[in-house]
Amino acid sequence: MNKGDDKFLIAVKDFIKSMVISLVLVILVTQFIARPVRVEGLSMYPSLNDKELGFSNILSMKMKDPERFDVLVLYLDSQKKHIVKRVIGLPGEVVEIRDEKLYIDGKEVEQPFLDTDYVREMTSTGKEFSRDFGPITVPEGEYFMLGDNRIRSSDSRDYGTFKREAIKSKDVFVFIPFNKIRTVGK
Q: What is the pLDDT of residue 173?
A: 94
Question: What residue segments make up the domains of the chain, in order of their start?
Answer: 1-32, 35-184
pLDDT at position 4 is 64
**38 vs 127, higher pLDDT:** 38
Quick: pLDDT tens for 111-125: 999 988 988 888 888
The model's pTM is 0.84
Residue 166, CB half-sphere, CA atoms under 13 Å: how many? 24
Distance CA 100, CA 110 (A): 11
Nearest in space to 150 (alpha carbons), one of 172, 131, 135:
131
Contact 183, 173 (CB under 8 A): yes
* 1: pLDDT strictly greater than 60: no
The per-residue pLDDT for 2 is: 64
Q: Which amino acid is at 24?
A: V
Q: Report the pLDDT averaged over residues 170-177.
A: 94
The residues, any chain, with a CB within 8 Å of residue 29's CB and separated by 6 or more, are: none
Rounded Cα distance, 103 and 86, in Å? 15
CB 170 within 8 A of CB 56: yes
For 35-184, which CATH class?
A: mainly beta
CB 67 within 8 A of CB 109: no
Q: Annotated active-site positions, please?
A: 43, 85
Q: What is the mean pLDDT of residues 73-93?
A: 95
